[in-house]
Amino acid sequence: MSRTSPGMDESFLALPLRTLADAALSRARALGVSHADFRLERVRSASLRLRDARPAGGSDSMQLGYAVRVVVNGAWGFAAGVDLTPEAVARVAEQAVAVAELSGVLSEETVELAEEPAYGDVSWISSYEENPFDVPDAEKVALLADWSRRLLHARGVSHVTAALLAVQENKFYADTAGTTTTQQRIRVHPELEAVSVDEASGAFDSMRTVAPPVGRGFEYLRGTGWDWNAELAELPELLAEKMKAPSIEAGRYDLVVDPSNLWLTIHESIGHATELDRALGYEAAYAGTSFATFDKLGSLRYGSDLMHVTGDRTVEHGLATIGYDDEGVRTQAWDLVKDGTLVGYQLDRRMAKLKGLGRSNGCAFADSPAHVPVQRMANVSLQPAADGPDTAGLIAGVEDGLYIVGDRSWSIDMQRYNFQFTGQRFFRIRGGRLAGQVKDVAYQATTTDFWGSMEAVGGPQTYVLGGAFNCGKAQPGQVAAVSHGCPSALFRSVNVLNTQQEAGR
């Protein structure tokens, strides 16, 4: 917990957390379970949207409920409820046991969980200074409107959309092994997009801010962790240049990829591919399975020797950062790819035990009290080189190439292997210098070819923690927030497509 973080929400602590947990776990024990856990959640989500500096919509919602999960004779059982009384919770525990008994008849596999120490009664609060839900909506709207007007007053900007998403997530967890956790997380995602329309030709284009979503509070919008004034000041000129930019000539180019773009490539080609349930074929929803199958652990050449990728559920301000996961596992950091070789996976307790990998690394998460915890992505990040160059130094090493900034669309196959990505801004590099923007760019590769072409990694001064609020997985679908840190990096001879030509235009 950060020293600057406010305390735990008193209104959440006022709920009968321990009384309900005792009722659920006592009833589960009486019915002969080998494991039981109780999880009560309150998740508040709010959004604001402005168009051309005027309010265009908003929402403020809350989920409150609990779940009981059990293992009976080697089978899972799960049930959820919303009635906050001991009697109702006990009935939900009975329902979970009944589900497990039925599942045991239908399943050919025995559920076993990796060992995890009991931590007693512990709490954790994410690192933030100002809870966005303590800031009046009028103040939030006024700030977004001011930012919007700054863009609208610039020449060439026709329209501006602005949005703010904020989430406060409180979880209480208790299990039969003796771990009880009370946790609170705050995250925010501000975003602005400027649109330019050439009235004479009808041509138009847009450009978004590249400020990432973060595990911070409203202080982020006040300038802590991001220079909003600087980004808003340069956006109109960049958009005007993009409107006039020539179309790229397809071919092979050296690429310097900014963290604001590279985080998404990491997410799709490494993050999902190193989820062990996908690698084993247990999970295929949304993102498919994985080419990085378990038989390749310790031998798969994922990329160049410079490639060091970690999974981390502890990094400050990470969107997937938490103190303890939804199975009572204390979170940690570990290697996924080291010196270019696959050396680890993201695990929950069942997957860790199934393949004899020791402890879980704390990747179980449920996005609501009505959903069962599933193995979810950690903050998966490419590590910088301790003495690596700055971005300008990487660009200086390129004779003929592109510098890519900001994420946009992407496409990747169901084994996380063949992909293409676009971006917000593309700058031509000639003779080690930026030579203006081009457009209609997508870079295309296989995962191992792309990461194998990484010739240089930027230093810590180029490192940025990017990410998203909306990573999807599982059936029924669940959504999780996740961060991906990375430095700028140089990739040699990557195939670049012209997206207009590819679309037949």
Tell me the pTM. 0.96
Q: Give the pLDDT band of residue 4 (cuts 50, 70, 90).
A: low
- For 262-271, what is each residue's pLDDT tens digit? 999 999 999 9
Angstrom distance (rounded) from CA 316 to CA 331: 12
pLDDT at 2 over 60: no
**Strand partners of residue 476:** none
Q: Return phi, psi of residue 94, to 5°.
A: -65, -40
Q: Is 190 exposed, middle or buried (0-12, 13-18, 19+ CB in 10 A)?
A: buried
Q: Which helix (H) or strand (E) holds 438?
A: strand 433-438
The per-residue pLDDT for 108 is: 87
Looking at residue 132, the DSSP 8-state letter turns out to be G
Domains of the chain and any CATH numbers? 10-244 (3.30.2290.10), 251-502 (no CATH)
Angstrom distance (rounded) from CA 103 to CA 98: 9
**Strand partners of residue 51:** 54, 161
Q: Is 34 exposed, middle or buried (0-12, 13-18, 19+ CB in 10 A)?
A: middle
The per-residue pLDDT for 190 is: 98
- For 123-182, what is each residue's pLDDT tens digit? 999 999 999 999 999 999 999 999 999 999 999 999 999 999 999 999 999 999 999 999
Q: Return phi, psi of residue 90, to 5°.
A: -60, -40
- For 22-81, what is each residue's pLDDT tens digit? 999 999 999 999 999 999 999 999 999 999 999 999 999 999 999 999 999 999 999 999
The per-residue pLDDT for 107 is: 85
Residue type, 468: A
Q: Give the pLDDT band of residue 1 (cuts 50, 70, 90).
A: very low
- Residues of the chain above pLDDT 70, percent: 99
**Ramachandran quadrant class, 118 (left: phi over 0; alpha: psi -120 to 50; beta: rest):** beta
Q: Give the pLDDT band of residue 3 (cuts 50, 70, 90).
A: very low
Q: Provide the CB-side half-sphere exposure for 391 (13 A, CA).
A: 20
pLDDT at 241 over 70: yes
Tokens linked to 485: 């840190």
Distances (CA, A) of 425 to 260, 390, 437: 10, 19, 7
The per-residue pLDDT for 505 is: 73
pLDDT at 244 over 50: yes
Q: How does the average pLDDT of the chain come out, rounded? A: 97
